[in-house]
Amino acid sequence: MTTDAAGSDVGSLAARFPTDFRWGAATAAYQIEGAVHEGGRGPSIWDTFSHTPGRTAGGDTGDVAVDHFHRWRDDVALMADLGLQSYRFSIAWPRIQPTGRGPANEEGLDFYSGLVDALLDKGIRPVPTLYHWDLPQALEDSGGWPERDTAFRFADYAGLVTERLGDRIPLWLTLNEPWCSAYLGYAAGVHAPGRTEPTAAMAAVHHLNLAHALGAKAIRAVSGADTGIGAALNFHLPRPADPTDPRDLDAVRRVDALANRAFLQPMMEGRYPDDLICDVAGVTNFDFVRDDDLDTLTTPLTTLGINYYSSCVVRHYDGATPRATADGHGDGASPWVGADHVEFPPTAPPHTAMGWNIDPSGFTELLVGLSRRYPDLPLLVTENGSAFHDRVDADGRVRDTERTDYLRRHLGAVADALDAGADVRGYLVWSLLDNFEWAYGYDRRFGIVRVDDDTQERTVKDSGRFYAAVLAAHRSRPGTR
Ligand code: IFM
């Protein structure tokens, strides 16, 4: 029997996953690469935002990040040591098109091409995400995601990348968490570009959906109709504060419409939810949707990427007291467009260092629910993980028991979903490395590998050892590929 450092039975956990289940880890370009002025890269909205005083904790930026741009060979070796079978990374659009338009910057393509080759050499499947929030600043200067043209620029970019890498990529992810790009970037203003314009945020929702569809077409035009395409959505799992109060149930419906169905329904069914259109009628009449757009939106997905961290509690807000904003997004402008009568009361402990509750049963519920709704669509967990304030012990080891426990319980939740019939094909932990956690800077560590702030030295944490032990136990099963 295989046991991890804490003595738990990783063998029986691994045995709950089918033999062709794939394991890996995820990262994103701006969070790890650094080298923002190298290789012909242009500025992105996150360079501008993080260099604007007061926007990120401690004024942290991704200028150096965890120096992956220079250390990628060692990082790939580390992935192989951990036994990863897949690696999800993102391609920085401003490395490929420094101004978001025009011909490809060959140096940028060379960087990702080298990374893909090194992964394949180690038997690790590359899973690139084309957009993980680093819009070229020049495109924001022309209006950003609220501007329709940005979706067409994205399609050009997707085509350029596919021409160079497409022969080696079995699965592309177009967008990461368009919820964050649209609502945190353009309504709450806590992410780049930091705008607080709810109407623009709704236009951004549509243009991100359009970009996904046009990007998918551009990829398939180069690589063929059966190329694997997905998107990574951060599903919200709202629970009513009082399940018997119809007003709290309506709050759940609104949050589900804005967060989940605003992206899933156009991508899967080529239409926006009727209730969403009513909910935000005071903000927009959806005149940014053109006649042919709905046909364009449905482009068959081969995989749905699921990012899950926590659930939330919602209830009707009557305006009598200050609004509860325990949704992790501060108390400024709200990301919840048209949901003025919704509030997020505090959730029950335990919480991670992000203040997010730990709710593995929500993960199972989400996976099973999505598989029932779209039975022909395979699911891939594209992100799941936790931030904790780690300590390095005198012997150099990081005994991150809370993260290990989170991981163990969430892997169990995926196994429960499989038992209940969900078609989940793989799991990618967030994140391989400690990294730049956006507006929180480097203060929130999500890695299963610690990165020393001063030396950039990588140390596999106990959670990483646990994960590697699960993967090894899974690999040792007869019939595992
Ligand atoms: O770090 C982020 C990632 O970039 C997108 N999904 C959530 C993670 C943790 O906040």
Whether the pLDDT of residue 325 is over 70: the answer is no
Phi and psi based region of residue 27 (left: phi greater than 0; alpha: psi -120 to 50; beta: remaining): beta
pLDDT bin (cut points 50, 70, 90) of residue 445 is very high
pLDDT the model gives residue 328: 43
CA-derived radius of gyration, the chain: 21
Indicate if 177 belongs to the active site: yes
pLDDT at 258 over 90: yes
Nearest CA to ligand 1 atom 1: 437
Relative to the CA of 431, which ligand 1 atom is closest?
A: 1
Contact between residue 468 and residue 2 where contact means Cβ atoms under 8 Å apart:
no
Cα torsion 319, 182, 143, 99: sign: positive
Strands 228-234 and 303-307: what pairing?
Answer: parallel
Catalytic residue (one of 33, 177, 343, 402)? 177
Question: Average pLDDT, stretch 159-181?
Answer: 98
Is the beta carbon of 307 within 6 A of some atom in ligand 1?
Answer: yes
Summarize the confidence of residues 22-39 as an average pLDDT: 98
What pLDDT, on a 0 to 100 scale, did the predictor assign at position 322?
Answer: 77
Per-residue pLDDT at 83: 98
pLDDT at 8: 61
Across 235-249, 314-328, 357-371, least confident range: 314-328
Q: What percent of the chain has pLDDT over 70?
A: 97
Residues 354-408: pLDDT tens digits? Answer: 999 999 999 999 999 999 999 999 999 999 999 999 999 999 999 999 999 999 9
Verify whether ligand 1 is closer than 6 Å to residue 28 (CB atom): yes
Residue 26 burial by CB count (10 A; 0-12/13-18/19+): exposed, middle or buried?
Answer: buried
- CA dist list (Å): 64 to 117, 215, 220, 312, 333: 24, 29, 34, 34, 30
Angle at which helices 198-223 and 262-269 cross, to 10°: 40
Integer angstrom CA distances of residue 458 from 35, 71, 307, 452: 18, 10, 25, 7
Name residue 136's beta-bridge partners.
44
Q: What's the chain's average pLDDT? A: 96
* pLDDT reading at 7 higher than 60: no
Verify whether ligand 1 is closer than 6 Å to residue 437 (CB atom): yes
Site to substitute for ligand 1 among 383, 432, 434, 435, most atoms within 8 A of C-beta: 383
- Per residue in 80-113, pLDDT (tens digit) is 999 999 999 999 999 999 999 999 999 999 999 9
Give the pLDDT confidence score for residue 1 in this predicted structure: 44
Active-site hit among 33, 140, 365, 383? 383
| Pocket-testing residue among 44, 177, 351, 428, ligand 1, by greatest number of atoms within 8 A of Cβ | 177
Is the pLDDT confidence value at 3 over 70?
A: no
Q: Indicate if 402 belongs to the active site.
A: no
Burial 88-123 (b: 16+ CB within 10 A, else e): bbbbbbbbbbbbbeeebbeebbebbeebbebbeeee
Q: Whose CA is closest to atom 2 on ligand 1? A: 437
Torsion of CA 433, 436, 439, 440, to 10 degrees: 60
What does the alpha-carbon distance between residue 375 and residue 268 come to, in Å, rounded to a whole number?
A: 12
Beta strand 312-316 pairing with 342-343? antiparallel
> Which residue minimizes the CA distance to atom 4 of ligand 1?
28
Contact 37, 439 (CB under 8 A): no
Share of the chain above pLDDT 90, in %: 93
pLDDT, residue 324, reads: 77
Q: Which of 314, 132, 439, 444 is nearest to 323 (CA)?
A: 314
Task: Tell if the pTM clears 0.85, that is, is over it.
Answer: yes
What is the pLDDT confidence band of residue 331, given thresholds at 50, 70 and 90? low
Candidate of 175, 308, 431 to mutate for ligand 1, largest count of ligand atoms within 8 Å of Cβ = 431
Length of the chain: 481
Asked whether residue 481 carries a pLDDT value surpassing 80, the answer given is no
Ligand 1 atom nearest to CA at 31: 4
- Domains of the chain with CATH codes: 10-475 (3.20.20.80)
